[in-house]
Amino acid sequence: ALPLIIDTDPGQDDCIAILLALASPELKVLGLTTVAGNVAAPLTARNALRICELAKRGDVPVFAGCERPLLNQPYHSPEIHGESGLDGAHLPEPRMKLQPQHAVDWLVETLMARGDHATIIAAIAPLTNIAMALRREPRIANKIAKLVVMGGSLRVGGNMTPAAEFNVFVDPHAAQIVFDSGIEIALFPLDVTWKIRARQEHVDRLRASKSAAARTVADLMDFYLGTEAMAEGGLGAPLHDACTIAWLLDPKLFRGSRLAIKVETGSPLTLGMTVPDWRGLWGGPANVEAFEEADAPRIFDLLIERLGRL
């Protein structure tokens, strides 16, 4: 199984991504690291524990990480995810506790111990923990086989500002460190995640499942369908973060192109914008594979089948 660490800020779509990973035998989840993002850091850590409990996976260690972005003020979005970060469903009280070690220390220690290009990280939150780990121990760049990131936008504008997507907007300085690190990145920007929209039919299919965890996801999705502004007009609610895990399970579900990307950190107007170098004008290495197309029906079939196993 592919060894995977998930860096996350649960979060409605984070929850679905984590459960998809935990339900899939192709992946071995080494641990979850949490960070401030959709809601404040204590809540994202607690939600990660609740998600593991829901999946009956108390064996997966959870490490709490950075409580605020590198330079900017914290920014949360309870209007999308609810005050708890996982409003809409009843998740169990966790029996297991947070690990005592800081997420950044554990990331460095684990990546260094596992060897070159030996570990995959799915980063589905502001990139604060990953950037801190890179600054703490630059040699981890060589230890990561692939950094699978949900964040940014290539051609479709942002969801936070006209220019910027949430994860990059919240900690643009961290994102800049990560994109400039040379690590091989598989990027799932809004261009593709806005095509993976949950609708009532998906909620209904999950609700019909024999798995209690799948039915809990149906409750979450119901809530998320109501809050996610883009759900208006029947378009549905985008399952941004789940794309990263679906791709690890079946890369053929997505199509993209290789390029270099830089992050704007100076301009008030375009803060957190991801700038793709479509024509190779910078002349540097194209370390990002950025996805724009996906087979949405097959992704939902995969998701619903896997959640049904929990």
Please list the active-site residues.
240
How do 27-34 and 62-64 pair as beta strands?
parallel
Question: What minimum distance in Å lies between the beta carbon of 18 and Ca ion?
Answer: 10
**Please, which of residues 226-285 interact with ligand BDR by CB under 6 A?**
240-241
Judged by beta carbon, residue 140 or residue 150, the one nearer ligand BDR is 150
Q: Smallest Cα–Cα separation from 154: which of 277, 248, 309, 244?
A: 277
Reported in sequence order, the residue ranges of the chain that DSSP labels E, i.e. its strands, are 2-8, 27-34, 62-64, 119-123, 144-150, 185-188, 197-198, 237-238, 254-259, 261-263, 274-276, 288-294
Taking residues 1 to 20 in sequence order and writing x for each that binds ligand BDR by CB under 6 A, - otherwise, the string is: ----------x-xx------
Instruction: Map residues 115-134 to x or -, x wherever contact with ligand BDR holds by CB under 6 A.
Output: ---------xx---------
**Contact between 130 and Ca ion per CB under 5 A:** no
Residues β-bridged to residue 149: 123, 187
Longest dimension (CA), the chain: 53
Among 125, 127, 190, 302, binds Ca ion (CB under 5 A): 125
Which partner from the list Ca ion, ligand BDR, none does 77 bind, CB cut-off 5 to 8 Å by kind?
A: ligand BDR
Please name which of 142, 135, 108, 131 lies closest in space to residue 179, comparing C-alpha atoms.
Answer: 131
**x/- binding map, residues 3-32, to Ca ion, per CB under 5 A?**
------x-x--x------------------
Between the alpha carbon of residue 281 and those of residues 81, 259, 275, the distances in Å are 39, 10, 12
The DSSP symbol for 257 reads E
Q: Which does 165 bind (CB under 5 to 8 A by kind): ligand BDR, Ca ion, none?
A: ligand BDR
Cβ closest to ligand BDR, residue 9 vs residue 143: 9
Nearest residue (beta carbon) to ligand BDR:
166
Q: Is 157 exposed, middle or buried (0-12, 13-18, 19+ CB in 10 A)?
A: middle
**Minimum distance of ligand BDR from residue 85's CB (angstroms):** 9
d(CA 168, CA 297): 28
The residues of the shown chain that bind ligand BDR, judged by CB under 6 A, are: 11, 13-14, 38, 77, 80, 124-125, 150, 159, 165-167, 240-241
The residues of the shown chain that bind Ca ion, judged by CB under 5 A, are: 9, 11, 14, 124-125, 241
